[in-house]
Structure 1
């Protein structure tokens, strides 16, 4: 590659090449240092996408923010490690493979467990790397050498150790409880994996005959008539006068004939339905608790597929909804169906397959949530973990303080199989790290391993320590644990974030510190900070969904505009706590931004070539060893160096506070506004290599231009890594000081570079140039025609304009600048600001009415500013609380508004005289 850049910027021509280069050269690998690093490394764990996944906009936002931070911290000199990996996603992956088998006319039961697991591994090898390959294509600066999969052997060892250790500590138990059961996936799922939707349903009233009072009935109301087949009682409130005569009596269960008792319980709400509640402990969590209190049996009337089982008598074999229809028809034929009312229901559906979930009594494995939750709460309360935005700490506390025991077993074949063995002889359970040869209770050799697997979130909850070798005490653990930052979405705050905190704080407290001392909660946490990013919505701020047809495919957008433009769009809109309304128009604008930088590079390289042709030798090493321009340097050199330093300071601060939008917009404004629109236009005046007289001046200007451009590329690099990599290598003509711009130094603030005087002077010059441009436009001066201008201002501003006349002439198309002692120009040819009055003798037919209207609008604007400032300055309460900086700013505003108001009044007076 040379300075000969193609005329048109084409991201597709460079992105694949650099993405492959970064992976091939292993640029972002982070070997484990020996000993203890001088400073804490910056370590992040990628929220592992499902092995079934494809990249969506949520992934791209998450990975863009993580990559910006990783590249920035790496360029700041921090030891930086970003770990990638994928989750085995038990339910989702098993579902995908079962669909494959169904297309072949087979079921997993036809293959058997071992053959099915082998089939899943084959599927994983063939399809499972899609999302990581997309990450590579998009340039994620992760350490691919450390890529993990949650079913890897070393991680499986950690999962088994965690289970056995919790069991030995009495924190894992097995029992029959109501769980959320997915009939399609045929497994228990957590509350968090249930999506609730409001639907219009029915409330059916059913009449239960009273055994002791022939001809009498007790009417109950239910939304699920099919579960009545498992009723074991009807409950009423003890103080409900309507039913006190039935206390202790019995009912005949319709359609079944079983006799069930009437019981009393204060939990029953007399206001709901009829005030009488059927009790079905095997099919409702509240009924289960009530049944436990009253010693009632539990009758399960549905199988794993939500079909009525043998306990359902005549309805056995029917699907739950078919059974409902038949039961209602039979009740009606027997005169036992009462009123039917419309009723709004909250229907729970499986988040994976959208099947309606069935509450079902099932024997499962559970983790006692205490003392894990208390430690996890204390870690955040004591400030060892910080949430950004802070409001998520409140959400976390609310959930953690109301958390229930965690059901960790799943009725799947794909996943970490529970290390428990059932003895056929004594029916006891042996839990062990290795497969036992005999029962630990009766020593029988006839053992069968538990068929259930562990909840996916159990294994992923261990990742911050298991990826570094836990339960072994490794150098990786000593160096990289705790990780510094977790960037994730709020949708897995409880799925994953809370569970990592609970498991990390519990297990790592037993792991010694690198020096052998006892670890405290402060160093047991899995991460120091959690940054929660928001949702990416469509341009109308609607949540993306396939149903609405508004899903944006990031790969399509990247193909259209380039990765850099999409990344920059997401970064520029990523304000903490605010959803992103993704707009292709913004992306198109940032594609134009990249193109502007490309064209700037072509102009710069063209001048480098001209300098070489003129015999000027340039040392690229000067770029990184540059010094601030001296006081005699042109104003644009002193100004752009100072602006770069100021922007670098602000960008570093913004990234440190996760204000991606501010950081991106600061870089954008500097590169497009300060550098391209102003500095490049000014420095063109200095670049004259045709004359030996100006060679030294031209060389000095070119070196400042090159060093500023090189630093600006580094400033932009974390946001637009492909474009900056291409231009950086071209700038150094394929001999850069590092293999990648990502391994160079990020611009930092330097006191030597700051020049407030130059910045203030440039601000006045820019204001003058913009004012003259506006005046030219108002007077319809032809674009290429220069005009003379007259200027009245302070001596300092007059000297500034005089010494930089070449800049003003070039950028405002001015032929000469005069400094009259008496102002004679009319108001239409004059513009006034707080710093100066400028005009031109250029003649144009004046539209008196339009000019009068313009001045009156200005007068109204200045009077409003003046009134607002005075109102606040006369408010004693405001003055007592406001910072001194704010008060002084208001005073200055009032003075300027007063002056401009008077000048506008004078202009109106002159206009009337002119008329």
Structure 2
């Protein structure tokens, strides 16, 4: 009989285990004849690394995939990565800049070659890290949003949209990054609160009868003002509506208009309208048919539409000059300090500008109607349900989607222009000439723009399955079963997949949308490098010392001040670095945290508890394996064995846990799944049943048939546990299974191939539950008395039960052997008067333990007095520390917290000692 290693060592098993799974093709779709179950991995950026949000969501997806695979479904977890247009181009451009080269020096074609080479060199880091997390995706089907098949899908999708009148080119206001020189999506805009100023300007009425005062945070945009707006119900300005003002500096006359958008009680009640440089003004401009004057270049400098003295100035330099000039003209009324939200690009941190430019748009307002309906009528459901309201808020006020980007890296828009500016859309230039009957004499130039990354991402659920071809995979796995994603991209990705799925496939892309919370640190703070609280999942798996952690988080390119800040914060949060917890402990933590909350606070300390859980399961398994001597596996019918109350109870509890596991997985309550698994494995199986088994196996009165029943229950429930927990903690469960299967004669080579346990009504035994729960309370009560009275564990004691009715008397007699073994009881007396004793009560049943001869009451009271004095000394010492403001202010936060925890533990221990002392004094 082989013996399991004494300790579970994740490092030595995880990589080897995963490589074996992947090499044997266990992750591949099409391995069974069951119904299909499919999940599309939200494609992470090819430039990226696995962050906590990825780790969290990937773990939950893997739980679902492993569960459904074990349920016999034909599962497909479709992996892949996104080309990440802006992010990737920026990285490659930075590398070129270090060589003193720009992309324009290389030209488009050679630059794209550089990007592809860089992608081949650096890409795939995140998929390697996913493997470390145990992600059982079908890697044989891995896709990339710029691969040949997906590029074909993007082109054909756009051509069809254009042919159907749903894609067009037009001049619209977009978010413009003056560093990247491209439009960016709303998702790439970071709204940051910053301190600024609010300038109040006087705009003179053209009839010289007075002036109107406006307030602005962007004085330079006044050069593009085309109107001043007031609320139509604002009595102060009724006589002004229809008049004109003479715009200072430009000397242009512009109208005063009425629009309900203007808030009467905000500022002066008068708003300058600059349609070409403000999104709200743009809508007002369209309503009132106002001209749109663009005053900026692509680099955010003032252009030729402004007076000559300002031309070529950077927007912020122009701001200073205009304020000075307005002041000299006597038109600067006042300047106020003002906190405002500034839109910055998430890649460049530059202040973005609303910018009027020619772009390609998709009519989301048309495509969105069905995408809204399928959620309203319940065809697609959000989990948790409240997230559908977030979806509605956007879908009911859809704006057309700007799909073009002024980049080189990405899917180039399949549009060509002739010398007259006419536009032609088709798959390629040859197709254009055929489609539009153009001769070779017509000179055509392809559009320089590429598609917004979200365009190709919107096709992901079906393009990865072979669309536009009619493939077997597309037929089988579309629509997919569930989308797992964060609430931050409901607008930008979820809705667009819904629109495109319904439009191109005529079917929803997924049946359920499970929305996760966002991972934050233990205090609920957003994770960021500057805060020093960022976590890398692989660091939590393998561990990392403080020095290496600081080196990893900082770089020579950082500003010294920022570098020092990051180092300080890292030392604060992780003074001893990060311990190695192993993959399973990390996965269990993620699953346990997956509640319905909007934010998920990740406390590294919780991982210690789940690492202990893994060790507990390992040690219990070792005990089982070491106690199977003489076990006859031919006992296939457990009902033929002498199943005692403990065996019947643990089988009942196992069956209850099976039912809960199915329920919680199907309802996406991963946190409750973790809770039920933890409760059963730790508290019921390991803490109670294994202890019952140990006691009974060591009892010489236990019959051979009874022993076989205990051994059968130990090994078969353990086998069931391994299957139950496998989707959550796959590595340790697989390692134990490889030891267990030889005893259970399971022919499946891997736990991945084992059927997930099903509910078995024949295992229900409520009576056994009632008896066992009563037994637990009795044993706990006896152990509590022993502990409080400091009775040595080796000493067998008599126990007196009083107030036992006929039912309880029968139960005590029936379970006397197990009570004796579990509580170290020598003699049991029922309804007999007890001598001087310590007492506990369980549901009216008095439990007495005579103390005469067991302990010296005077000596025990003296011992307790001595212990209390020691505690008082420690409590006083720690209170002194914590009352010292200098210590609290200068000590690392982790040290202060630890001292507070020590104080709380000492005070609790003192309270318990006082209770014991009081009991002894009463005897």
TM range (shorter): 0.7 to 0.9
Which of 191, 198, 208 is residue 196 of structure 1 equivalent to? Answer: 191
Aligned to 2:881: none
Distance verdict in 2 for CA 1:726–1:242, change over 3 Å? closer
Residue 236 of structure 1: how far off its partner (Å)? 5.2
The whole-number CA distance in structure 2 between the counterparts of 1:796 and 1:266 is: 83
Aligned to 1:837: 846
Distance verdict in 2 for CA 1:246–1:648, change over 3 Å? closer
1:745 aligns with 2:755: yes
The whole-number CA distance in structure 1 between the counterparts of 2:328 and 2:601 is: 56
Aligned to 2:24: 25
1:182 aligns with 2:182: no
Which of 590, 605, 624 is residue 604 of structure 1 equivalent to? Answer: 624
Contact 1:628 1:638 in 2 (8 A): no
Map 1:163-174 onto structure 2 (within 5 A): 163-174=158-169
1:545 aligns with 2:541: no
1:701 aligns with 2:710: yes
Contact 2:521 2:603 in 1 (8 A): yes
Aligned residues, how many? 818
Aligned to 1:136: 131
Q: Deviations over 1:143-196 (max 9, x none)?
A: 111111111111111111111111111111111111111112221122333222
Residue 276 of structure 1: how far off its partner (Å)? 4.3
Q: Which runs of 5 or more structure 1 residues have no equivalent in the other structure?
A: 510-523, 851-910
Distance verdict in 2 for CA 1:777–1:150, change over 3 Å? same
Aligned to 1:310: 304
Q: Which runs of 5 or more structure 2 residues have no equivalent in the other structure?
A: 543-579, 862-918
Aligned to 2:582: 562
Which of 800, 803, 810 is residue 814 of structure 2 equivalent to? Answer: 803
Q: Deviations over 1:473-504 (max 9, x none)?
A: 22212211111111111111111111111111
Which region of structure 1 is more displaced relative to structure 2, 671-680 or 314-323?
314-323
Q: Secondary structure at the match of 1:752?
A: helix
Residue 63 of structure 1: how far off its partner (Å)? 0.9
Distance verdict in 2 for CA 1:309–1:752, change over 3 Å? same
The whole-number CA distance in structure 2 between the counterparts of 1:278 and 1:571 is: 52
Aligned to 1:72: 67
Aligned to 1:260: 253
Distance verdict in 2 for CA 1:537–1:327, change over 3 Å? same
The whole-number CA distance in structure 2 between the counterparts of 1:698 and 1:348 is: 72
The whole-number CA distance in structure 2 between the counterparts of 1:632 and 1:703 is: 11
Q: Secondary structure at the match of 2:327?
A: helix
The whole-number CA distance in structure 2 between the counterparts of 1:195 and 1:640 is: 54
Which of 552, 573, 576 is residue 596 of structure 2 equivalent to? Answer: 576
Aligned to 1:330: 325
Map 1:84-483 onto structure 2 (within 5 A): 84-208=79-203, 213=208, 219-235=213-229, 252-255=246-249, 257-267=250-260, 268-269=262-263, 271-312=265-306, 313-424=308-419, 426-436=420-430, 438=433, 440=436, 443=439, 445-483=442-480
Distance verdict in 2 for CA 1:368–1:119, change over 3 Å? same
Q: Deviations over 1:256-307 (max 9, x none)?
A: x443333433355555444444333321233334444555433322122212
Q: Secondary structure at the match of 2:429?
A: coil
1:54 aligns with 2:36: no
Contact 1:537 1:544 in 2 (8 A): yes
Residue 209 of structure 1: how far off its partner (Å)? 5.2
Map 1:725-874 onto structure 2 (within 5 A): 725-732=734-741, 737-792=747-802, 793-820=804-831, 822-825=832-835, 828-834=837-843, 836-843=845-852
Distance verdict in 2 for CA 1:47–1:913, change over 3 Å? closer
Q: Deviations over 1:520-566 (max 9, x none)?
A: xxxx1111111111122222222322332222222211111111001
Distance verdict in 2 for CA 1:278–1:692, change over 3 Å? closer
Contact 1:417 1:451 in 2 (8 A): yes
Residue 617 of structure 1: how far off its partner (Å)? 6.6
Q: Secondary structure at the match of 1:374?
A: helix
Q: Deviations over 1:853-902 (max 9, x none)?
A: xxxxxxxxxxxxxxxxxxxxxxxxxxxxxxxxxxxxxxxxxxxxxxxxxx
Contact 2:587 2:728 in 1 (8 A): yes
Contact 2:52 2:535 in 1 (8 A): yes
Contact 1:389 1:577 in 2 (8 A): no
Contact 1:729 1:736 in 2 (8 A): no
Contact 2:49 2:126 in 1 (8 A): yes
The whole-number CA distance in structure 2 between the counterparts of 1:32 and 1:74 is: 9
Residue 442 of structure 1: how far off its partner (Å)? 6.1
Residue 66 of structure 1: how far off its partner (Å)? 0.9
The whole-number CA distance in structure 2 between the counterparts of 1:201 and 1:22 is: 58
Which region of structure 1 is more displaced relative to structure 2, 64-73 or 801-810?
801-810
Distance verdict in 2 for CA 1:243–1:812, change over 3 Å? closer
Aligned to 1:595: 615
The whole-number CA distance in structure 1 between the counterparts of 2:384 and 2:730 is: 27
Aligned to 1:497: 494
The whole-number CA distance in structure 2 between the counterparts of 1:235 and 1:791 is: 88
Residue 360 of structure 1: how far off its partner (Å)? 0.8
Aligned to 1:889: none
Aligned to 2:553: none
The whole-number CA distance in structure 2 between the counterparts of 1:804 and 1:57 is: 50
Which of 642, 649, 661 is residue 639 of structure 1 equivalent to? Answer: 649
Q: Deviations over 1:796-826 (max 9, x none)?
A: 3333332332321121011121223x43445
Residue 142 of structure 1: how far off its partner (Å)? 0.8
Q: Deviations over 1:769-793 (max 9, x none)?
A: 1111112223321221110112242
Q: Secondary structure at the match of 2:762?
A: coil
Residue 244 of structure 1: how far off its partner (Å)? 7.2
Aligned to 1:714: 723
- Runs of 4+ in structure 1 off by over 6 angstroms are 238-249, 911-915
Q: Secondary structure at the match of 2:455?
A: helix
The whole-number CA distance in structure 2 between the counterparts of 1:545 and 1:231 is: 39
Contact 2:641 2:706 in 1 (8 A): no
The whole-number CA distance in structure 2 between the counterparts of 1:751 and 1:22 is: 33
The whole-number CA distance in structure 2 between the counterparts of 1:465 and 1:647 is: 37
Q: Secondary structure at the match of 2:511?
A: strand
The whole-number CA distance in structure 1 between the counterparts of 2:638 and 2:482 is: 36
Distance verdict in 2 for CA 1:688–1:240, change over 3 Å? closer
The whole-number CA distance in structure 2 between the counterparts of 1:914 and 1:38 is: 69
Map 1:653-668 onto structure 2 (within 5 A): 653-668=663-678
Which of 526, 544, 560 is residue 509 of structure 2 equivalent to? Answer: 526
Residue 99 of structure 1: how far off its partner (Å)? 1.6
Residue 218 of structure 1: how far off its partner (Å)? 5.0
Q: Secondary structure at the match of 2:468?
A: coil
Contact 1:787 1:842 in 2 (8 A): no
Q: Secondary structure at the match of 1:282?
A: coil
What TM-score do the two structures reach when normalised by structure 2? 0.83
Contact 2:241 2:258 in 1 (8 A): no
Which region of structure 1 is more displaced relative to structure 2, 336-345 or 476-485?
336-345
Contact 2:34 2:74 in 1 (8 A): no
Contact 2:365 2:398 in 1 (8 A): no
The whole-number CA distance in structure 2 between the counterparts of 1:708 and 1:12 is: 27
